[in-house]
């Protein structure tokens, strides 16, 4: 999606600076929490870089504020008279965890602002209009698709006004998540399970139903090898109490929290998670919870691991969806297919880790009715 460029087009030095700002925004190892990746480059009237900055996560200064501070430190208080700010995201107009960047740019004497993505956050948007009204030259929508790709989940969540929901499911070839007696270790391979841990690590919340806690007693933590940031929030939905001795009721030593959402309504659950600044929920089971989200139209993406095994009986991946005839089927589009090859490392102490065989990982999206 590219919005029409308002005002004059970006100059070549500004487009180059925007690419640099995107590189800065994508700096490795940032722990952003609920916030987007944002980069900013300040240019003098000749298009020469004065200073740069990028955002390091919720509660820390925004990219523009960092760049302004760097410019003042390097050149002095008047460094920015007549300068241009190039930013990957529309400067914010709100006072949130930090002050409004649009005003800070104005106060610094910036005369021109070039940005890529309009801010989809209803709380923060309006910086472009504020700057224009103050007489600043504003060029919007330059390389917008690239800028959106820096924060695909954050952008989607802001547009939806709720966390993005990914349903993760691991099944036998016949769509079962366990055998008739409930045993489910191990249907998918060690390599699939490691991949699923990376998926968990990329989300800020893991959500299961109280039934899954009672049946499986999961820990829902990301194992060390896949960890890149803090553990995701562990959330449980349902009115039942958690068994007091369950792993989710007894927090692990790393302080990972569990949030019990005492509701059966997925909308209410997502509202509560949104209020807790959550942007990406990984729905991990069981069948009742998954069906509730599907029925509410609240699944945005599916990651399915399929193992070459038949069970013939046992729990289904998803409960009743109200589909009574084939024309009512919930149809999905396949976005990606990945062959998960058997893992090469087989430590002796993992001899009980199940058969390590080839699995398939499908990424799918619900089909939009046209």
Catalytic site positions: 64
Round to whole Å and give the CA distance between 64 and 102: 9
- Residue whose CB is less far from ligand AOF, 97 or 239: 97
CB of 148 to ligand AOF, least distance (A): 13
Shortest distance, position 98 Cβ to Zn ion, whole Å: 6
Question: To the nearest whole angstrom, how small is the minimum distance from the Cβ of residue 145 to ligand AOF?
Answer: 18
3-state secondary structure of 53: strand
Phi-psi region of 145 (alpha: psi -120 to 50; beta: other; left: phi over 0): alpha
Among 32, 85, 101, 302, binds Zn ion (CB under 5 A): 101
Sheet holding 205-209, edge to edge: 258-261, 233-237, 205-209, 280-285, 164-171, 301-306, 359-366, 332-340
Q: Where along the sequence are the contacts to ligand AOF (CB under 6 A)? A: 35-36, 38, 55, 58, 62-64, 89, 92, 96-98, 101, 119, 121, 124
Residue 38: contacted member of Zn ion, ligand AOF, none (CB under 5 to 8 Å, by partner type) = ligand AOF
Looking only at residues 346 through 365 of this chain, which bind Zn ion when binding is defined by CB under 5 A? Answer: none
Q: Residue 26's beta-bridge partner residues?
A: none
- CB-wise, 36 or 209, nearer to ligand AOF? 36
Instruction: Pick the closer one to ligand AOF by CB: 66 or 299.
Output: 66
Q: Name residues whose C-beta falls within 8 Å of residue 364's C-beta, 6 or more positions apart in sequence.
A: 301, 302, 304, 332, 333, 334, 335
Residues within window 60-79 making contact with Zn ion, judged by CB under 5 A: 62
Residue 17's binding partner, choosing from Zn ion, ligand AOF, none, with beta-carbon cut-off 5 to 8 A by kind? none
Q: Which residue is nearest to ligand AOF (CB)?
A: 96
Distance CA 329, CA 149 (A): 31
CB of 276 to ligand AOF, least distance (A): 14
Task: Give the whole-angstrom CA distance, residue 211 versus residue 236.
Answer: 9
**Among candidates 298, 297, 306, 295, which has minimal Cα distance to 281?**
298
Binding site for Zn ion (CB under 5 A): 62, 92, 101
């Amino acid at each position: 999606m590219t919005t029409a460029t308002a005002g004059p087009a970006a100059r070549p030095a500004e487009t180059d600076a925007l690419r640099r700002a995107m590189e800065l925004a994508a700096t490795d190892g940032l722990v952003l929490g609920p916030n987007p990746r944002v980069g900013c480059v300040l240019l003098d009237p000749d298009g020469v870089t004065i200073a740069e900055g990028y955002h390091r996560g919720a509660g820390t200064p925004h990219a523009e504020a960092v760049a302004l501070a760097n410019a003042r430190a390097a050149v002095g208080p008047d460094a920015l008279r007549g300068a241009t700010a190039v930013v990957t995201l529309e400067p914010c107009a709100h006072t949130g965890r930090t002050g409004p960047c649009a005003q800070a740019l104005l106060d610094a004497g910036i005369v021109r602002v070039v940005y890529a993505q309009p801010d989809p956050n209803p709380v923060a948007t309006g910086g472009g209009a504020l700057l224009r009204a103050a007489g600043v030259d504003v060029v919007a929508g330059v390389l917008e698709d690239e800028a959106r790709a820096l924060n695909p989940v954050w952008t989607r969540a802001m547009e939806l006004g709720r966390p993005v929901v990914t349903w993760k499911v691991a099944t036998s070839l016949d769509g079962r998540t366990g055998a008739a007696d409930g045993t489910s270790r191990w249907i998918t391979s060690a390599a699939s399970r490691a991949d699923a841990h990376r998926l968990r690590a990329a989300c800020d919340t893991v959500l299961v139903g109280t039934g899954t806690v009672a049946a499986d007693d999961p820990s829902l933590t990301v194992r060390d090898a896949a960890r890149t940031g803090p553990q995701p929030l562990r959330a449980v939905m349902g009115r039942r109490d958690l068994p007091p001795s369950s792993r989710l009721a007894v927090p692990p030593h790393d302080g990972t929290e569990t949030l019990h959402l005492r509701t059966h309504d997925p909308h209410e659950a997502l509202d509560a998670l949104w209020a807790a600044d959550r942007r990406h929920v990984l729905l991990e089971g069981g069948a009742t919870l998954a069906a509730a989200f599907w029925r509410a139209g609240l699944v945005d993406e599916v990651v399915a691991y399929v193992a070459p095994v038949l069970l013939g009986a046992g729990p289904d991946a998803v409960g009743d969806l109200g589909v009574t005839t084939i024309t009512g089927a919930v149809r999905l589009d396949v976005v990606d297919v990945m062959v998960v090859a058997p893992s090469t490392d087989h430590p002796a102490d993992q001899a009980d880790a199940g058969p390590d065989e080839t699995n398939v990982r499908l990424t799918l999206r619900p089909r939009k009715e046209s």
